[in-house]
Structure 1
Amino acid sequence: MTSRESLAWLLGGARVTVPTNGDPVLSAHVTHEELKLFVFANEVERMQREELAALGELDVVPIPWHEPLPPLPAGAEPEASLAAELRAARAQLLPVEIERYRALGSDLARAVTAVARELRAADSERHAAAALAHAVIEAGAEPVVLLAAGAGRLGLRHPLPTTAPLGDRAMLVVGARRHGLIANLTRFVGDASDADERLLEVEADAFAATRPDRSLAEVLADIASAYPAHGFQPSEWLNHHQGGPTGYAGRDPRATPTATDLVTDGQAFAWNPSAPRTKVEDTVIIADGKVEVLTADPVWPTTDVNGVLRPLPLPFV
């Protein structure tokens, strides 16, 4: 195993990179009988003391920092050849993973609320993103996505923050990783629009379409059909990806028209329908036909959509 998501999953949520989205500092050779970790020597002490201690005695082989991690042993399968099987294994969250996910989602949602309450229309997008980054790190997580769009840039689906003012309506998008798990959410501050509530209906159809043993391609087809059913252009789903399963990767994998991965009951998802100047996104677990929103803060304004509380824009003070 060589990928960040598989190594973090295998090692109980260990932090396996130094740059947040950099290459892992170790690789793992796994058989039915043995787990052997190859770790850069300058990272061994930290990894053993701070990331791996709870796992007990492990076979750790130091590798000089100036040498590459060892190549695949003879007869071994590379991780890439088992990508679909590993995604399916990661999809089946254990109780300890679900509890960690709930805690991360709650902490992240409360942090975003605290930041959003302090924002003003004259603040810049960069000010908002900096405040969000501070809040995420204070929560013991790593920011993996930080986007902010003021009223003048809401037409962009991935608005990297600039010096532009937030104005009368702004979008905040945050992804944060803790214990290897990634929680994602989108929130708006300022004015509301009719499109906001119609897009929540699209999302509700996405939740309803996410049923066990359906392929992601089938779910995506239902999401695409939901747009015209709720007053949007039929091609709107083509203007931005719609999300998909999540967990140890932001999307694991992203739903596409050819995605064959099957939905698992109790799996985590982050669907993110969007339309001009509006979007909705939360991290949820869908089990037994019920939607549990992980990234929820009870004080954020909401509306009930098919029995699920969904976010509305938070007015500026």
Structure 2
Amino acid sequence: MTETCLDVRVRLLGEMALQNGVDRLVISDSLTVSWLLGIRSNVRLGADQPCFSVELDWRSGDCVVNYVIPRHEADRVRASLRTDVKYSGCSRYSVYEWSGSAWDDLDSSGSVGTDVRRDGLRFLGPQIEDVRRVLQPEHRRDLRALTAEVTNLVETIALRVTPSFTELEIAAQVASEALLVDGEPLVVLVGSGRDQFRFKHPVPRAVPVCGRVVISVGVRRHGVVTSVTRYLTFDPLAPHEHQLYRGLLEVEAAMLNASVPGARLSDGLEAGKAAYRQQGFPDGTWREHHQGGLAGFAPREILAGRDQDPILLDGAVVAWNPSAAGFKVEEVALVRDGGAQAIGAPGPNWPSVAVAGRQRPAVLQA
């Protein structure tokens, strides 16, 4: 029998469980639930915690997938399971009352591993993360489709922006269009004018846009998350501004080129630091804002330069975002031999520039 995509994910977790001497896993981390099932597991828009857990049980040999769900969510979760992400083995549903917990009736026999810390259970979070940080073919398909749709909606909105628009109106249109394609808008930033130079994260305001305008969004659908940033300007860019923006694209290219299987996440950051210097940016520019890091099921799961420094696996996702002087460049990319492959690209109506073999967005002259 041909394995379904959920069969493959369960098998990968089963191999990891066997290596670590456990015969059950309880999955309660939102990113792992997203990787496993490819559905919206939360109720509140943008929430980080799933409203149910998944128990994988190999005690009888073949895995039994048990959805542990509060009673009032059981029918909705069952209805939301994707028909293209089915498990060919045995599945069952265990419900509990809203006043209880998924852990109340957990059978403690055997050896149980979890992706969240619980007394008496074996914490296997890092091992599970190593499995789910590699996107399977269906995840890559979902991420490419989402990135293409979000790119299109951001560029379409940006192309019709005039100085009569307020930042909030642009943000509202972006969020609305994201919802209409079944996406969860996790980040919607819009800024313009002098505040481009003051704020790294411009929260939209009820003021008309002017000068340089940025639209930067993060959207989740089917568990995967994409990030898209575009700039337009009502004022012609000065030559040094064109050079600055191109310099950031070169920094990004260095970071993407360093994002290869077997490298550390920090290798991308170090490549970016060197590229900042080569492009003539002031010393310490990279310290002014985080430079991105590991992505895929969150806008950024691990920021480069923080405590964790994972080895990059073939098929993982990075999203670097070098920035300086009111500009930022950003792209989700798949870790591959020879350098990370950008998952998105500018649309046919958006200006672009080739940088290190990748088509990257230019600044639109409105």
Give the TM-score normalised by structure 1: 0.93
Report how far residue 252 of structure 1 moved: 2.8
Could you tell which deviates more after superposition, 304-313 or 29-38? 29-38
Worse overlay, 179-188 or 209-218 = 209-218
Task: State the secondary structure of the residue aligned to 1:77.
Answer: strand
1:55 pairs with 79, 86, 92, which one? 86
Mapped partners of 1:299, 1:83: distance in 2: 44
Instruction: State how far apart, in whole Å, the 2-side matches of 1:290 and 1:301 are.
Output: 24
Question: Residue 62 of structure 1: CA displacement?
Answer: 1.2
Q: What residue number does 1:123 align with?
A: 165
Select which of 88, 98, 103 maps to 1:70.
103
Mapped pair 1:255 → 2:304 = yes
Contact 1:38 1:61 in 2 (8 A): yes
1:20 and 2:45 equivalent?
Answer: yes
For 1:97, the equivalent position in structure 2 comes to 139
Identity of aligned residues (%): 28
Q: For structure 1, list consecutive stretches of 5 or more residues without a partner in the other structure.
A: none
> For residue 231 of structure 2, what is the amino acid of its counterpart?
F
Kindly indicate whether the alpha-carbon contact (under 8 Å) linking 1:115 and 1:135 is maintained by their aligned counterparts in 2: no
Alignment of 1:60-209 (within 5 A): 60-71=93-104, 74=108, 75-80=111-116, 81-154=123-196, 155-190=198-233, 191-192=236-237, 193=241, 194-209=243-258
1:234-273 to structure 2, matched below 5 A, reads 234-256=283-305, 258-273=307-322
List, as ranges, runs of 4+ consecutive aligned residues in structure 1 with deviation greater than 6 Å: none
In the alignment, residue 102 of structure 2 is paired with which amino acid? L
Structure 2 residues not aligned, in runs of 5+: 1-26, 117-122
Letter of the 2:256 counterpart: F
Stretch moving more, 126-135 or 48-57: 48-57
- 1:46 is aligned with what amino acid? R
* TM-score between both structures, scaled by the size of structure 2: 0.81
Deviation of the 1:16 alpha carbon = 0.5
Distance in 1 between residues matched to 2:353 and 2:308, nearest whole Å: 32
**Residues 60 and 189 (structure 1), Cα distance of their counterparts in 2 relative to 1, 3 Å cut:** same
Is the 1:150–1:164 Cα contact (8 Å) retained in structure 2? no
Instruction: Identify which of 66, 75, 78 aligns with 1:45.
Output: 75
Contact 1:144 1:176 in 2 (8 A): yes
Q: Could you tell me whether the CA contact under 8 Å between 2:256 and 2:268 is conserved in 1?
A: no
1:257 Cα offset (Å)? 5.0
User: Which of 296, 299, 314 is the aligned partner of 2:349?
Assistant: 299
One-letter identity of the residue aligned with 1:313: V
* Alignment match, 2:360: 310
* Residues 57-87 of structure 1 deviation map (CA, whole Å, 9 limit, x = unaligned): 6211111122232256545233143332222
Q: Which of 50, 64, 73 is residue 34 of structure 1 equivalent to?
A: 64
RCO greater where, 1 or 2, for CA within 8 Å and sep 6 or more? 1
Q: 1:257 to 1:223 in 2, by over 3 A?
A: farther
RMSD over aligned Cα, in angstroms?
1.9
Displacement of 1:122 in angstroms is 3.3
The count of corresponding residues between Structure 1 and Structure 2 is 315
| Higher alpha-carbon deviation: 83-92 or 151-160 | 83-92
Deviation at 1:291, TM superposition (A): 4.4
Provide the C-alpha distance between the structure 1 equivalents of 2:207 and 2:277, rounded to a whole number of angstroms. 32
Contact 2:259 2:336 in 1 (8 A): no
Q: Deviations over 1:233-267 (max 9, x none)?
A: 12111111111121112223222254321112232
